[in-house]
Amino acid sequence: MEIRVISGDVTEVKASAVMVGLFEKVKNPDDYTATLDNVLGGTISQLMSQGEIKGKFGELTIIHSLGKLFAERVVILGLGKKQEFTLDKIRGVVAEACRFLQKKGIDDAATIALGVGVGGITPKSASQAITEGALLGLYSFRRHITKEPEYGEIKQLSIVANSEADISLLEHGRDKGKILAEAAKLARDMVNEPANYMTPGHMVKMAKQLAKDYDLELVVLEREKMLELGMGALLGVAQGSAQSPKFIILNYKENDSNEIDLALIGKGITFDSGGISLKPGRKMEEMKGDMAGGAAVIAAIAAISQLKPAINVTAIVPAVENLPGGRAFKPGDILTTMTGKTVEIISTDAEGRLVMADALCFVNKLKPKQIIDVATLTGACVVALGDVCTGAFSNNQELANKVVIAGAKAGELIWQMPMYTEYKELNKSDVADIKNVGDNNAGAITAAQFLAEFVGSTPWVHLDIAGTSMSNKERNYLVKGATGVPVRTLINLALAIAK
């Protein structure tokens, strides 16, 4: 889909449908909606007084213009209460409207720059949100469906500028929105891809292509190198699979120093069967998405290299498959991590913290200024926060605040969880330095405390996206399947740190 910015009279927009917004509880249409109401002979105000159009958030009303204006249809988007309006509502309502129009076979739509002037929303931010909403809401994963889709695609979306002066602001917003949305879509593609395609080796191939396209530096460590470095925890997890583990490092360098301003680490379990501690069959297919953290950091650094913030960023993905093969690691085994710390294996299904431990240790030796790790780490986090919020765990409040703010800006909700040292006790082992499963309770926190052992004093935030990386329903700009969370948060964070 091409998104363009145009100027001119809203009644003369050359598109098959033009979208305008309406807030809840307003008596009369204003702005563009009023202009269109006039041309349509008062249809909109009539429907409002009859109560058919309420302006409730997400309400969509289609009115056929029957030759009264160039566009054959006007779509009134309910924006909800004005005082509750946000950029994320723009993303959501535009996504719903685009899907609605696409299902009607419309291939050419236009929208005014919704919400400008309300609650600090600028032309640039509105245009960015419209772009993100349209691109993310119309996303679908059809790579393995051979049947033709039932309806065509919206090929063009035009954002109508209020004035000539707004054009470049809207274009800037559109350009930024496109980079963020395409990155989130890339992460969605990687997560939706089944594990027989998205192997550790395939993740390397994708990283290679991105490195080439966006001028990133790529280093891939193979098994021998990991052995040499002493990544015993990662290699332990990899033992049960025929797929070779890969340790992917992508560098975005704004300057020639080797200093890393921001390190991003993503869990890259390309399939999590649970290993010898085999998972139950129900929904096991969803574990193809256990590399969502890895996909997110790869997609984020690709976008960061396009936005060029003035910091050096490194993205790291330990990519491993967790299967119960004949060589697989077992409960009771003791693995030695890269730091030298030994880990008693209680469950081979708590594999994420093992590969992340070695990755954290590796990155810590590079002395980055701050570390963010992203992982589909625990079912316990899903129990605690559902699919609404990502869980955040940190040793540094200032950095945690920055991450939460970057998330809010993206519409990706993040909730910080406690890290009191009392929780650390639960990971104590009788036979090794630490064990890989704590208590039955507080599972998301004990997992985070496990990771904290390998971070030292570097400012660090761990994001548990087990609940937020996939959606089981279509809602606003999310569709069923991978969400692309927290790609846009990570990009916003890099931009904020560079400022």
* Smallest separation (angstroms) from Mn ion to the CB of 269: 7
| Chain residues 265-324 in contact with Mn ion, contact rule CB under 5 A | 272
If the CB atoms of residues 354 and 360 are measured against Mn ion, the closer one turns out to be: 354
The entry of Zn ion, ligand BES, Mn ion, none near residue 166 (CB within 5 to 8 angstroms by kind) is none
Q: What is the largest CA-CA distance in the chain?
A: 81
Contacting Mn ion within 237-276 (CB under 5 A): 272
Tell me the C-alpha distance between 257 and 284, whole Å: 44
Name the residue with the smallest CB distance to Zn ion.
272
With contacts defined by CB under 5 A, name the span among 33-41, 150-158, 344-352, 414-422 that binds Mn ion. 344-352
380, interface contact from Mn ion, ligand BES, Zn ion, none, CB < 5-8 Å by kind? ligand BES
Residues in the chain: 499
DSSP 310-379: SS-EEEEEEEEEE---TT---TT-EEE-TTS-EEE-S-TT--HHHHHHHHHHHHHTT--S-EEEEE---H
Shortest gap between Cβ of 278 and ligand BES (angstroms)?
A: 11
The structure tokens 């200093």 sit at: 259
Query: By CB under 5 A, is residue 373 in contact with Mn ion?
Result: no
Nearer to Mn ion, 112 or 237 (CB): 237
Chosen residue from 59, 182, 189, 290 binding Zn ion by CB under 5 A: 290
- Bond into 486 cis (ω within 30): yes
**Minimum CB–partner distance for residue 446 and Mn ion (Å):** 14
Q: How far apart are CA 12 and CA 482, in angstroms?
A: 38
How far apart CA 34 and CA 27 sit, in angstroms, is 11
DSSP 12-45: G--SSEEEEEEETT-SS--HHHHHHHHHTTTHHH
CB of 475 to Mn ion, least distance (A): 27
Rounded to a whole number of angstroms, the minimum distance from the CB of residue 396 to ligand BES is 25
Query: What's the closest the beta carbon of residue 292 comes to ligand BES, in angstroms?
Result: 8
Percent helix, percent strand, percent coil in the chain, to nearest 5: 40, 20, 40
> Residue 139 belongs to what H/E stretch?
none
Near Mn ion by CB under 5 A: residue from 171, 182, 189, 349: 349
In angstroms, the CA 372 to CA 392 distance is: 10
Encoded tokens for 130: 């419209």
State the binding string over 227-266 for Zn ion (x if CB under 5 A, else -): ----------------------------------------
Residue 466 contact among ligand BES, Zn ion, Mn ion, none, beta carbon within 5 to 8 Å by kind: ligand BES
Q: Which is nearer to Zn ion, 352 or 467 (CB)?
A: 352
Instruction: Find the shortest distance in angstroms from Cβ 265 to Zn ion.
Output: 15
Which of Zn ion, ligand BES, Mn ion, none lies near 437, with the C-beta cut-off 5 to 8 A by kind? ligand BES
Q: Which one-letter DSSP state was computed for residue 244?
A: P
Binding stretches for ligand BES (CB under 6 A):
272, 290, 347, 349-352, 376-380, 382, 437, 443, 466
Out of Mn ion, Zn ion, ligand BES, none, what residue 453 binds, judged by CB under 5 to 8 A for its kind, is: none
CA distances from 39 to 21, 44, 389 (A): 16, 10, 44
Q: Which residues, 6+ apart, have CB-to-CB distance to 93 below 8 Å?
A: 21, 57, 58, 77, 78, 79, 114, 133, 476
**Smaller CB separation from Zn ion, 110 or 291:** 291
Catalytic residue numbers read 279, 353
- The contact set with Zn ion (CB under 5 A) reads 269, 272, 290, 352
> Given the rule CB under 5 A, which residues bind Mn ion?
272, 349, 351
